[in-house]
Amino acid sequence: MEQGFDVEEIRRDFPILQTKTRNGKPLVYLDSAATSQKPVQVIGKIEEYYRNYNANIHRGLYEISVRSTDEYTGSKEKVARLINGGSYRNIIYCRNTTEAINLVALSWADQNISQDDIVLTTQMEHHSNIVPWQMLAKKKKARVEYAGLSKPNLSIDMEDYKEKLEHGPKLVAFSHVSNVLGTINDAKEMARLAHKHGAVVLVDGAQAVPHMKVDMKDIGADFYAFSSHKMLGPAGIGVLYGKEPLLEGTDPVIGGGDMIRSVRFDSCTWNELPWKFEAGTPNIEGGIGLGAAVDYIEKVGIERIRRHEIAMTKYALSGFEEMEGVEIYGERLEKVNESNKAGVISFNIKGVHPHDVASIFDSEGVAIRAGHHCAMPLVTQVIGEPAVARMSFYLYNTESDVDKAAEAVAKVKRMLKRG
């Protein structure tokens, strides 16, 4: 076990992990890549806000409004510190990773990309890092290109990436960690190469920030997007980090209250960063809850979380790779190391549809996800399957959770396997 990391103590902070499923099985939650569970510290913080200082931010000169404003802005300072991303001025709150990426597509990209320009992304992306660029390309008569993946481990083919960079993309957008394969991409090197070719870089960090040390100064991305709900925080709040000169040079896309400095009948001027991108009353409880989630992650220690998850991943791979008829996608155990694999394992059981796999897991109280995982091009066109089953780990998972998943595989085989 990771030194100074007491998983049983951590589990006690998560009320849902003490619950049982409808057929009386203890809940085994292996779907944190979809959304994470929430500790009492986050749930309690949201309740504290509503009970004690619920008031709109930036409006009142009275005590509880000043408090809610301080807590909301303070949460941005915490987020900025967690990712070494400057200050609250670099942190724009939106609904989720999807909205953060779309915000860049609708603002910076819309204002800077024109006909025949290229947006370069990769074949391992979530739909939220494909569809906005396809929409933009259609509107601007621009083009989306995709860096391919190398087989068999399905990591980004760096030769192909470099070759596509030679086409001179204006924007390069890639995920830091794949939500299907768990592959950790070398975001720093990819950003360095893209910058060398004069591109602006956006990184989808939805599966990275919750699980590993992510450092904006080190990676050097211009934009970086992630979601609160995947990192122990509430849903409905996400983060777009941006470098100040880019944010300063970009016009907002949603107009209204709070995003302006002054308004006259014939004109208006924008508010300072980050508020010019946050029109209207924001998700105040979400921001404050996210701040509490960052506190929790920092209390446990992100490096400890990462080491726990890699141990869990290796343990699971060592069992699953030996199972007859189980195919695993992504890096194999012998090549897994600290820097190339996150706690996400996708697999299929030969002859069984992954939806049936997930249903049988569910009958054992084991929650996994099956489908295309919002990465349909990767799953259907690269992996070549209609769907895959996926288990994903977080700081509260144990080896016993993995054992229950392994027992569920045995049950699937007993019940459904043909041939």
The least distance separating ligand PLP from the CB of residue 378, rounded to whole angstroms, comes to 11
Report the residue number, 37 or 207, with the smaller CB distance to ligand PLP: 207
Taking Cα atoms as reference points, which of 249, 245, 202, 209 lies closest to residue 224?
202
Taking Cα atoms as reference points, which of 232, 277, 285 lies closest to residue 255?
277
Residues 6+ apart with CB under 8 A from 99: 238
Report the residue number, 75 or 128, with the smaller CB distance to ligand PLP: 128
The least distance separating ligand PLP from the CB of residue 124, rounded to whole angstroms, comes to 9
State how far the Cα of 206 lies from the Cα of 342, in Å rounded to an integer: 12
Report the residue number, 344 or 412, with the smaller CB distance to ligand PLP: 344
Out of 80, 105, 194, 374, pick the active-site residue: 374
The least distance separating ligand PLP from the CB of residue 98, rounded to whole angstroms, comes to 3
State how far the Cα of 141 lies from the Cα of 80, in Å rounded to an integer: 36
Task: Supply 66's token pair.
Answer: 């000043």
Report the residue number, 210 or 360, with the smaller CB distance to ligand PLP: 210
The least distance separating ligand PLP from the CB of residue 9, rounded to whole angstroms, comes to 28
The least distance separating ligand PLP from the CB of residue 174, rounded to whole angstroms, comes to 10
Is 94 among the catalytic positions? no
Task: Supply 251's token pair.
Answer: 């016009």
Sites of contact with ligand PLP (CB under 6 A): 33, 96-98, 126, 128, 175, 179, 204, 206-207, 227, 238, 374
Report the residue number, 126 or 308, with the smaller CB distance to ligand PLP: 126
Query: What residues are labeled active site?
Result: 374
